[in-house]
Amino acid sequence: MTARGYSLAYSQPIAMGLVTIFVMLGVGMWMLYKGVGADQMLWYRLFFWVVWFAIVLFGGYRIISSARAIIVHAGDEIEFVGWLRRQRLTAQDIRSVRVTSGRQSQVVVLHAGGTIYLAGAINDFHQFLTELKQANPGVEFVGC
């Protein structure tokens, strides 16, 4: 593989996603503080707020843990860079690359040690896939 970097094509959706998560978290905290729904039963309010915050925190975690750049190093080593961590793999470790279906499609990289989600569209991604296929003929592409 050619040593090179690939980055997000559009960073605005990621920024908007983070802003949305912070607004939802702030609104939830404000509503909790003001006692919205205080006339409801305690178990119902507790269930609602646990589900609300779980959804918001999961969305925030998914945004900041997704890879926002791919760096290809010499020796067919590939590094996926996110805000929380960097994960370095060899091309042989990657088993499949698939695009999830639905309204909010996302690229998912399955490798020997787990799963990596990409934060959005990556510049020259098809070139990366072509070079990955040359380095690892056993990799499977689904929906790419």
- Whether 89 and 109 map to the same domain: the answer is yes
Supply the angle between the helices 12-34 and 42-65 in degrees, to the nearest 10: 160
56-115, pLDDT tens digit by residue? 889 888 888 889 999 999 888 999 998 888 999 998 999 999 988 777 778 899 998 899
Residues 72 and 57 reside in one and the same domain: no
Tokens for 9, please give them.
């094509």
Task: Look up the CATH number of the domain holding residue 108.
Answer: 2.30.29
- Of the residues 23, 40, 63, the one at which a domain ends: 63
The pair of structure tokens assigned to 72 is: 């290809």
Please state, in angstroms and as integers, the Cα–Cα distance from residue 122 to each residue in 10, 49, 70, 127, following that order: 8, 35, 8, 10
- 3 state DSSP class of 27: helix
Count structural domains, the chain. 2
Residues 118 and 94 in one domain: yes
Q: The whole model's pTM is what?
A: 0.74
Domain that holds residue 82: 4-9+67-142
